Structure 1
Amino acid sequence: MLGVRLDTELEERLANVARTQGRSKSDIAREAVRRYVELHDEAFRREARRQSQRASRRDTHEDYAFWERAEREDAAWR
């Protein structure tokens, strides 16, 4: 269950749309939230896939070399 507060103008506009479509305000709000979540959830998944593909193309040798240099520098400071 979710309660949402709308400003007066938006609630009136929502009520008008609901009335003209013969639907409830809750039904329209539910559809709007569902579309928003699907859009943003898919965008999140696309970005995760993009980053995963990018990481898989990286040269892991460079990563190992970086950490080896960091360890040597750290040891030099001790």
Structure 2
Amino acid sequence: MLGVRLDTELEERLANVARTQGRSKSDIAREAVRRYVELHDEAFRREARRQSQRASRRDTQEDYAFWEQAEREDAAWR
């Protein structure tokens, strides 16, 4: 369950749209939230895929060399 406070103007506009379409304000708000979440959730998944593909193209030898150097430096501090 979710409660949302709207400013007066937006509440009136939503009520007008709901009345014109013969739908409830809750139904319209539910659809709007669903669309928003789908849009942004998909954008998040696209970005995660992009970063994953970019990381898979990296030179892993360079990564290994970096971590080996970090381990050597860490051992030197001990």
Q: Could you say whether these structures have the same fold, taking a TM-score greater than 0.5 normalized by the shorter chain as the test?
A: yes
Residue 77 of structure 1, CA deviation: 2.4
Secondary structure of 2:2 counterpart: coil
Structure 1 gaps of 5+ residues are none
Which string of whole-angstrom CA distances, capped at 9 and with x for unpartnered residues, describes residues 18-74 of structure 1?
111111101110110111011001001101110111111111111110011111122
Structure 2 gaps of 5+ residues are none
Distance 1:27 1:67 in 2: 53
Distance 1:45 1:71 in 2: 33
Secondary structure of 1:3 counterpart: coil
Residue 76 of structure 1, CA deviation: 2.1
TM-score normalised per structure 1: 0.91
| Residues paired across the two proteins, number | 78
Sequence identity of aligned pairs in percent? Answer: 97
